[in-house]
A = this chain, B = another copy of it.
Amino acid sequence: MTVARTVELEGHIIDSGIMQQCFETVMEMGGNFDVEEFDVGRHKDAESYARLRIVADDEETLQSIVHELHQIGVNPTEPQDAQLEPAPEDQVVPTGFYSTTNHPTQIRVDGEWWDVEDMEMDCAVVVDRETGTATTKVLNAIDEDDLVVVGEAGIRVDPPERPRDGGGPFGFMQGGVSAERPSESLIAEVADAMQETKDEGGKILAVAGPALIHSGAGDALAALVREGYIDGLSAGNGFAVHDVERGMYGTSLGMDIETLEHPRKGHKHHIYAISEVIRSGSIPEAIEDGKIQEGVMYECVQNDVDYVLAGSIRDDGPLPDTISDTVEAQNAIREQAHEADMVLMMSTLLHSVAVGNCLPSTTKVVCVDINPATVTQLLDRGSAQAIGMVTDIGTFVPTLAENLLGDEAGEETGIYE
């Protein structure tokens, strides 16, 4: 006795690799298939179509296979409505709830396909029939009686196809992270992509770790904020502390970034910087008090660039501006992530993963870190439009700024004195 279901694929299903993935998935999961129809695109612009009959030994295996398949965009031919169940309690999902991917997704409600809003992975999908919306919700945001999608049926996932022509910075690097690439050319391509994003009215989110400040790239990032290239900053307490320390004392972790001298008392600067901000009440108030007169945080405040400082257990202080509750911080990050059209992840694994968790697979992402393992881990998260660079953040940001702002800005940022 076997059970079967028919599925179909459409689009550039061969050169996008979906056909291959589909075949592999069925075989690895112990199923079998018959190709019922296969219209291959006869030239490179034509789309293909395939209809397969998936066969398995039991219903459970079959469901697993079908579940897997639709995650890569292979969908049942005879769609059913998604099954909905009310959440039994706050924060408690119904058993067997559908857990999302980060790809654009639709669910079928009353015979119609609804787009799921605010796509991000590892969420439940909650349907609101009154407003006619389906939205992702993380587990801790579930309210009692939310209508949650369960099971496998009535869900359609549409992974973005990879760029056909392999062009542009977001095409050429798929499938590999390497330090051995032409750095200056790559940075120029990233600059072009940023300029394009801004020209189209898009928003760029910068995710930055304290190493950016230690490595002397703070001025260049501040210039990018000032000149309007950064629409949001997602960072941690440490980033802000070291940036503020620089603004107050000219040092980062106690080292003078320009003279490279290490004033002996410098290693206390960061804790004094924190206490000064606490005394003022917040970073904007410390700026108002004249305590901070430059730096990334300064430019964010002066230019109304939205920033989220998320707390972590290694924080000193923390600053009053830091959101110490991680769930609350995630919610703030989620909002930033959903608004961003392009994200620069710079020298922070923690914050990059946190932002990455909230991104749909369609957002452009640039990951920059000197540690190849960090870049690999970030790219592994399944964005279709991500590039990774293993480079020095201390030369990356100034070179990027120079590309976008010209030599003049370079001089202004003190790069070539």
Residues of A within 8 A of B (CB): 14-17, 19-20, 23-29, 32-35, 38, 40-44, 64-65, 67-68, 91-93, 95, 97, 99, 122, 138-140, 164-166, 169, 172, 176, 179-187, 189, 210-211, 214-217, 252-253, 255, 257-262, 264-265, 268, 271-272, 274-275, 278-279, 310-318, 324-327, 329-330, 333, 350-351, 353-354, 357, 370-373, 376, 380, 390-396, 398-399, 402-403, 407, 415-416
Contact = CB atoms under 8 A, between A and B. Distances in A.
Given A311-B327, A372-B376, 9 more contacts: A14-B20, A34-B43, A64-B265, A176-B380, A179-B373, A189-B260, A312-B313, A313-B329, A325-B326
A124 to B, nearest CB: 9
Nearest to A308: B313
Given A279-B92, A314-B354, A258 B20 contact: no
25 contacts: A15-B20, A24-B166, A25-B264, A27-B44, A38-B40, A64-B264, A65-B264, A91-B278, A92-B278, A99-B271, A176-B380, A181-B260, A183-B217, A183-B392, A185-B216, A312-B326, A312-B354, A313-B350, A315-B326, A315-B330, A325-B326, A370-B391, A372-B373, A391-B392, A395-B396
Contacts of A184: 216, 394-395, 398, 415
How many copies of this chain are found per oligomer? 4
A172 B316 contact: no
B264 A68 contact: yes
A44 B67 contact: no
Scoring A93, A172, A370 by chain B CB atoms within 10 A of each residue's CB, the highest score goes to A370
B15 A271 contact: no
Contacts of A139: 271, 274-275, 278, 316-317
A376 to B, nearest CB: 8
Scoring A44, A97, A380 by chain B CB atoms within 10 A of each residue's CB, the highest score goes to A44
